[in-house]
Amino acid sequence: MSLAVLFVAAALAAPAIPCKQPGEWPHTRDAAWLAQVLHRAGYARTDCTGSAFVIRLGGRDLYVWAFTSGSSRFPHMRALHVGGATVHVEARLRAVWRARRRLVWVEAGPTSHYLPRLSRLAPLIRASLQVG
């Protein structure tokens, strides 16, 4: 089965997340899962870029996205324990952690230059570990 056929099958199985920007990611199971995580953690999505959601946290706008991946190697990132997960951080700009079979990424932007304190991500991290 080709990669294109697999992607179309996955996209058809996932509910589309409203997004004003074009992009495939809002139509994936990963986006639908992340929407549930954000809801459980109490965050409102303020925007969608077509490849990530934008949330407001600690006075900062942040990009957040997730995708299914088997990778767990982040050699150029510092590892910290936050909210029950090992969070890999790069220069206070981005953070990533494993939540079951997915990687969840948070990055500063569109108006922020750096992440808030990592402890502020704990509710999001905990929710991502709880949603199936």
Question: How do residues 19-30 score in pLDDT, each as one tens digit?
Answer: 888 889 999 999
DSSP state of 17: P
pLDDT at position 65, please?
97
Question: How do residues 69-93 score in pLDDT, each as one tens digit?
Answer: 988 889 889 999 999 999 999 999 9
Tokens matching residue 73: 């190697």
Task: Give the containing element (helix H, strand E) for 70.
Answer: none
As a whole number of angstroms, the distance between CA 66 and CA 58 comes to 21
Amino acid making up residue 30: D
What does DSSP say about strands 94-99 and 85-90: parallel, antiparallel, or unpaired?
antiparallel
